[in-house]
Amino acid sequence: MICTADTGFGPIQYDDAAVITIEGGLLGFPDDTQFVLLEHGDGDTLGYLQSLTTPTLAFPVMDPAFLAPEYPQPGPVVLAEIAELGTEQVGMLVVVYGDGNGGQLHANLASPIVIDILARRGKQVLLDANVFSNHFPVGATSHVTSPPPNASKQSAA
Report DSSP letters for 45-90, one per residue.
Answer: SEEEEEESSSTT-EEEEE-GGGT-TT-SSS-HHHHHHHTT---SSE
Domains of the chain and any CATH numbers: 2-141 (2.30.290.10)
Q: What is the pLDDT of residue 140?
A: 43
Summarize pLDDT for 101-154 with one digit per residue, the tens. 777 889 999 999 999 999 999 999 999 888 888 888 887 433 333 334 444 333
% the chain with pLDDT above 70:
87
Whether pTM exceeds 0.85: no
Sign of the CA dihedral running 56, 3, 111, 61: negative
Q: Please tell me what DSSP assigns to residue 18.
A: G
Cβ atoms of residues 19 and 36 within 8 Å: yes
Torsion, Cα 145 150 152 157, to 10 degrees, reads -80
